[in-house]
Structure formats: structure tokens, C-alpha cells
């Protein structure tokens, strides 16, 4: 039994995410976690909300709530939506947790001892009207690169160029709108990432199996003059983790907090500590996943993220881990994704363009979305969501192929043999040929899943469903029954076992539907089909079942047209 540590990129706390965010990290991570559990392996699947930084403070201010209250509320909202999509986290934590505070301060102390943190006097924008420094998104202005008038102090949303607040033209406070600003000196801590370049390059070069997307982004940042630079890890903010060296105060850093990019990745580790506390377990229970001196040397650690998160996970977070000089587990494999675009344009959180996770669950069950998103995952290039494609995929793959097979088999059995697996007859050459085909196809499905080839895995699973439909059409038990009911009984018994097999194989993609099928079959056996002939005789004659309700309803043209209009503009 292997051990798999799996983390999904941590979603930011300010608001509900859209489907592009979902397919870029959390959903494929859940697919992999469910698959590995299904194969009998031990899995620790972790995610959390990223709760610090200026966006959290600004979102809380806009909502008229204290930032701690806002973050607690939004964590509950995001957790509930994750449950709605069937994301099987072992723990969904919070970067504002006491565990993350302790670990972040611990890492800062170790990095300081290693000579990798230095104090820097820098110039920042100060608002006289607000009586405070304006880091990052607390300041807006005109982008010096493209002229966009609503650029933020950390990045221009229009041209994506990274900025410092002092770069902006005609800057103004995002809090009060005041232009009564001046540049003042302030002291901050910088992580000397540049000192880690050789170690990071050697580590990245050792990952010959990483996806091209991950490696190319990592090396571009590593070798780009603007990439691996020393980077500030503190901010003049009220909300965040107080700056300390372990448990000791940091002279000169009073009133400052660690910058969100520094503490957020450390939450991956802290999340496991939160899990241990929530379940009444000792520290050793989570340390065996994260410390190689406590048993994590045999753990396979996989991260899932969108391509915009790759630089932090291949350079900055590893610099923290390696620089600490302690035996922490480093990631083994990073599965990165391109962007999912929306119906001829882009998803936009600020403009409310596209389908957001809560809205998706309001109009259709999670499995409809899970299937489309995973079968169209933006792996080798950006992908695009269109309502026409979504309708076609749901109707053909889920309703016509899988759902139709289940309906035909169970309803025919009920009408001719009752709601029990029928006895009588023997399977023959046709069934033997299908078993051989399915064995080959299932092994291919496993290969793609192990390699985290999401689209290929979906295609392989669909081919397995199609094989059953073709068998049923050729066998035609409804016609055979008239002259040879025993042979028809054998064919239906075989087909009912196919439904059980499909449920087990499909559970990583469409877990709710899989559960419904196994419940209808009155079956608790979820064993993976290591031996296909045995798997296709698991339901014995006389085993009772019920005909399930419609597994997947087709999407009508009227529904599709309504949704196209509803999600084209700003959220109401």
C-alpha cells in the first residue's frame, strides 16, 4: 500500500470561485485522491482557505464586517460549496489557524538563522488621509505599462504586469480614494531567494517526469532576470501573522505581519496539524506525512494548481523548505493546468462573467459539472467552456451512454425477471470477448490515472461505458428472451455486474452517481477490479436490487439558452 499526500492550490478567501478555478486545482486533485483511495492506498488530501493579505481586508471592509468575522464566514461558505462538489478533503483548513501562525513564525526563525532573511529599508506609499502605508491592493492608479486606469499596486489586471505601488501613475488610496499620498521609508524583511538559486535549479532539474507546462514555467522564472529575486515577506497590515522569530519577538518589526505569499504555502503543512487536532491525534500523526525524519520519506507528494501558481510552488515555497535546513517533505510531482475560458471570452470574478461554483450547484447536480470539467481539463493548452459543448457532452456521455445502459438493463430485468439478479444460463464467447476488451481498457484507464492524464482518463472511462452499450445492443436480451430466456438471464446477470463495475470505476469522476448505482444494487463492495472476470460475477443470482431513478437527465435547448443569457453578464 502506497501513501499519497495530495494538496490543491489554496483558494483565496474573498468570494466564491468560478468553474475555471475549480478545474485548475481542486477538482483534478479530488479525482486523483479518490482514485488512489479506490486502489486501496493511504491518502491525505488537504486544502484550505488563504485568508491573509489586502484582498481579505478590502473584501471585509466592503462587506462592512470585521476581517476575522468575514474570513470565518467565507471559510464556511467555501467549505459548504466544496462539499457540494464532492471534494473529498481529509481536512479543509484555514491559513489564519494557530497552527499556521506557529509554523510560519518557526520557518521565519530558521531562515533567519540560516542567513536567508535580511532587513531592508524601502520606500512605500503612505496615505495621510488614512494614516497608514498602502501596500499592494490598498493603492490604485494608472498602469505605467498599458495605461489601464484601475491597476492595483501589485499587478495590472489588464496587462498582467507585476507592479509595486510606487510604479503607479496618479495613485490613489483604495480605502478612501485620497490622492494626498507621499513616499516614506519603512523597514521590512526579505527572503534572499537569490541565494538559493543553485539548489533550486538542481532540484528542478532532478524532476524529469514533471509536465512540460510546470517545468517550462519554473525554469523561465529561475532564469529570468525578474524571476528569482529577493522578495519581501512582511507588510504593514493589521490582519495577518505577527512577525516573530519562532517564539521570540523580532526587534523593529513590531506591528507588522508576514506577507500572504510567505505564509499561505506553509498552510499546506499546518493543515495537516489542524487535521490532527480536529481528530484528537498526536503530532506524530501529521508529522509522518510531512517530516522525512518521522516517516514521510515513503510519501508520494503531489500538488495540483493553475499555471499562475507554479512560480510560487516551484521556487518560493521550496526555497522556504530547503532554506530551513530541516527534514520537511518536498513535492514530488506538480500537476499544473492552463486556463479554462468562458464562452468566447474569460471568466471574470470582478465582472461576474461565467458560472460560479454556487450557481453551478443551483442549476445542476455536481456530477454533471465534474464530468464536463474533467473530460475537458485544460492540460496541454487553454480550454473553453461553451454551453453547446456542455449540453452535448452531458447528453451523449452521461445520459445516452452510461445512463441509458443502466436504465435499459435494470428496467428490463424488473419486467422479465423481477428485481433480483436472475439465475440460469451461461455466459459465452460474446461475454468472454468483452471481458478481454474490458481488461485491456481498464488497465489503460489505470495507466492514465496514475500519470494524472485527466482527459485521457475520461476518454478511457467513456470507452469502457461504450463497450457495455455495444455488448447490450448486440446481445439483445429483449429479443433472445422470447425463445431462450436462460441465455437472456445470463446476459442480464452479466450486465447488472457491468453496472457495478462501472460504478466502481466511475466513482473518482462522478461519485454521487456511483453511490446511487451501488445503493440501487444493494452493494457495499467497492473493490477495484484487479481481476475483471471475478468483478463481473460479484452479484450472484438472487441478489436483490432496485431500479434507480434517472441517472442523468438530458439538458434541453431551452435550458441551455436560458443559462447562456443568465451567465453572460455581471452577477445580479
Contact 258, 108 (CB under 8 A): yes
Identify which of 50, 94, 101 has the alpha carbon closest to the alpha carbon of residue 278: 94
Q: Burial of 64 by CB count in 10 Å (0-12 exposed, 13-18 middle, 19+ buried)?
A: exposed
End-to-end CA distance of the chain: 49
Place of cell 445492443: 473
Closest CA to 493 of 427, 405, 408: 427
User: How confident is the model at residue 572, as a pLDDT?
Assistant: 40
* CATH code assigned to 3-112+197-207+261-337: 3.40.50.620
- Give the per-residue pLDDT at 347: 83
pLDDT at 51: 97
Closest CA to 475 of 425, 549, 540: 425
3-state secondary structure 178-238: CCCEEEEEEEEEEECHHHHHHHHHHHHHCCCCCCHHHHHHHHHHHHCCCCCCCEECEECCC
Which pLDDT value is given to residue 226? 61
Count the alpha carbons within 13 Å of 159 in the hemisphere toward its beta carbon: 13
Residues 81 and 49: their CA atoms lie apart, in Å, by: 12
Number of H helices, E strands in the chain: 22, 18
Q: Choose among 130, 312, 124: nearest CA to 236.
A: 124
Give me the architecture of the 391-535 domain, per CATH.
Orthogonal Bundle (1.10)
Whether residue 159 is annotated as binding a ligand: the answer is yes
Listed by start position, the domains of the chain span 3-112+197-207+261-337, 117-191, 391-535
According to the model, what pLDDT value does residue 571 have? 43
- Is 71 part of any known ligand binding site? no
Sign, Cα dihedral of 401, 404, 406, 408: negative
- SS3 for 118? strand
Residue 553 Rama label (left phi>0; alpha psi -120 to 50; beta): beta
Cβ neighbours for 202, distance < 8 A, ≥ 6 positions apart: none
Report the SS3 class of residue 92. Answer: strand
Q: How many CB atoms lie within 10 A of CB 16?
A: 16
3-state secondary structure 47-81: EEEECCCHHHHHHHHHHCCCHHHHHHHHHHHHHHH
* Residuewise pLDDT in 10s, the chain (572 residues): 899 999 999 999 998 999 999 999 999 999 999 999 999 999 999 999 999 988 898 899 989 999 999 999 999 999 999 999 999 999 999 999 999 999 999 999 999 999 999 999 988 889 999 888 887 778 999 999 999 998 988 888 788 777 888 889 999 998 889 999 998 999 999 999 999 999 999 999 999 999 999 999 999 888 875 668 899 999 988 899 999 999 999 999 999 999 999 999 999 999 999 999 999 999 999 999 999 999 999 999 999 999 999 998 999 999 999 999 999 999 999 999 999 999 888 887 767 789 999 999 999 999 999 999 999 999 999 999 999 999 999 999 999 999 999 999 999 999 999 999 999 999 999 999 999 999 999 999 999 999 999 999 999 999 999 999 999 999 999 999 999 999 999 999 999 999 999 999 999 999 999 999 999 999 999 999 999 999 999 999 999 999 999 999 999 999 999 999 988 865 44
State the residue for C-alpha cell 499546518: 270
Task: Tell me: is residue 349 an annotated ligand-binding position.
Answer: yes
In whole angstroms, give the CA distance from residue 476 to residue 347: 46
CA-nearest of 313, 358, 392 to 25 is: 313
The pTM score is 0.94
The hierarchical CATH code for the domain 117-191 is 2.170.220.10
Distance CA 456, CA 78 (A): 29
Amino acid at each position: 500500500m502506497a501513501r499519497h499526500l495530495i494538496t490543491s492550490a489554496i483558494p483565496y478567501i474573498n468570494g466564491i470561485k468560478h468553474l475555471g478555478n475549480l478545474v485548475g486545482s481542486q477538482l483534478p486533485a479530488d479525482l486523483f485522491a479518490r482514485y488512489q483511495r479506490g486502489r486501496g492506498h493511504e491518502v491525505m488530501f488537504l486544502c484550505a482557505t488563504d485568508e491573509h493579505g489586502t484582498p481579505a481586508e478590502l473584501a471585509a471592509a466592503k462587506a462592512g464586517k470585521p476581517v476575522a468575522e468575514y474570513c470565518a464566514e467565507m471559510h464556511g461558505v467555501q467549505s459548504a460549496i466544496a462539499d457540494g462538489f464532492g471534494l473529498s478533503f481529509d481536512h479543509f483548513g484555514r491559513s489564519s489557524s494557530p497552527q499556521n501562525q506557529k509554523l510560519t513564525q518557526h520557518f521565519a526563525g530558521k531562515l533567519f538563522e540560516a542567513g536567508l532573511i535580511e532587513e531592508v529599508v524601502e520606500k512605500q506609499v503612505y496615505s495621510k488621509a488614512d494614516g497608514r502605508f498602502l501596500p499592494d491592493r490598498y493603492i490604485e492608479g494608472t498602469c505605467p505599462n498599458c495605461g489601464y486606469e484601475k491597476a492595483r499596486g501589485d499587478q495590472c489586471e489588464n496587462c498582467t504586469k507585476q507592479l509595486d505601488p510606487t510604479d503607479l501613475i496618479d495613485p490613489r488610496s483604495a480605502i478612501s480614494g485620497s490622492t494626498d499620498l507621499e513616499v516614506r521609508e519603512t523597514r521590512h524583511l526579505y527572503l534572499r531567494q537569490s541565494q538559493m538559486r543553485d539548489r533550486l535549479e538542481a532540484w528542478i532539474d532532478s524532476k524529469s517526469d514533471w509536465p512540460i507546462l510546470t517545468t517550462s514555467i519554473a525554469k523561465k522564472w529561475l532564469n529570468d532576470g525578474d524571476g528569482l529575486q529577493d522578495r519581501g515577506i512582511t507588510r504593514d497590515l493589521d490582519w495577518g501573522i505577527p512577525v516573530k522569530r519562532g517564539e521570540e519577538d523580532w526587534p523593529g518589526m513590531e506591528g507588522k505581519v508576514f506577507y500572504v505569499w510567505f505564509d499561505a504555502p506553509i498552510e499546506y503543512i499546518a493543515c495537516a496539524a489542524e487535521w490532527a487536532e480536529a481528530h484528537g491525534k498526536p503530532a506524530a500523526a501529521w508529522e509522518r506525512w510531512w517530516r522525512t525524519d518521522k516517516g514521510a520519506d515513503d510519501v508520494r507528494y503531489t500538488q495540483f494548481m493553475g499555471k499562475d501558481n507554479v512560480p510560487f510552488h516551484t521556487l518560493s515555497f521550496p526555497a522556504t523548505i530547503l532554506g530551513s535546513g530541516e527534514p520537511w517533505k518536498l513535492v514530488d510531482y506538480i500537476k499544473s493546468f492552463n486556463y479554462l475560458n468562458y464562452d468566447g471570452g474569460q471568466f471574470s470574478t470582478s465582472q461576474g462573467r461565467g458560472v460560479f461554483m454556487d450557481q453551478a450547484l443551483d442549476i445542476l447536480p455536481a456530477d454533471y459539472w465534474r464530468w464536463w470539467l474533467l473530460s475537458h481539463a485544460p492540460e496541454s493548452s487553454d480550454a473553453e467552456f461553451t454551453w453547446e459543448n456542455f449540453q452535448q457532452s452531458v447528453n451523449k456521455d452521461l445520459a445516452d451512454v452510461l445512463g441509458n445502459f443502466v436504465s435499459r438493463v435494470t428496467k428490463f430485468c424488473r419486467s422479465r425477471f423481477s428485481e433480483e439478479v436472475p439465475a440460469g444460463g451461461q455466459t459465452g464467447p460474446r461475454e468472454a470477448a468483452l471481458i478481454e476488451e474490458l481488461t485491456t481498457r481498464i488497465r489503460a484507464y489505470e495507466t492514465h490515472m496514475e500519470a494524472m492524464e485527466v482527459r485521457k482518463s475520461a476518454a478511457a472511462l467513456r470507452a469502457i461505458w461504450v463497450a457495455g452499450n455495444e455488448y447490450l445492443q448486440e446481445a439483445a436480451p429483449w429479443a433472445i428472451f422470447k425463445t431462450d430466456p436462460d441465455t437472456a438471464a445470463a446476459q442480464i446477470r452479466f450486465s447488472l455486474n457491468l453496472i457495478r463495475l462501472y460504478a466502481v470505476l466511475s466513482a473518482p469522476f462522478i461519485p454521487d452517481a456511483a453511490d446511487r448505482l451501488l445503493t440501487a444494487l444493494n452493494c457495499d463492495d467497492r473493490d477495484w477490479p484487479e481481476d475483471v472476470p471475478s468483478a463481473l460475477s460479484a452479484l450472484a443470482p438472487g441478489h436483490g436490487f432496485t431500479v434507480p431513478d434517472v441517472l442523468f437527465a438530458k439538458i434541453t435547448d431551452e435550458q441551455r439558452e436560458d443559462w447562456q443569457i443568465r451567465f453572460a453578464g455581471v452577477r445580479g
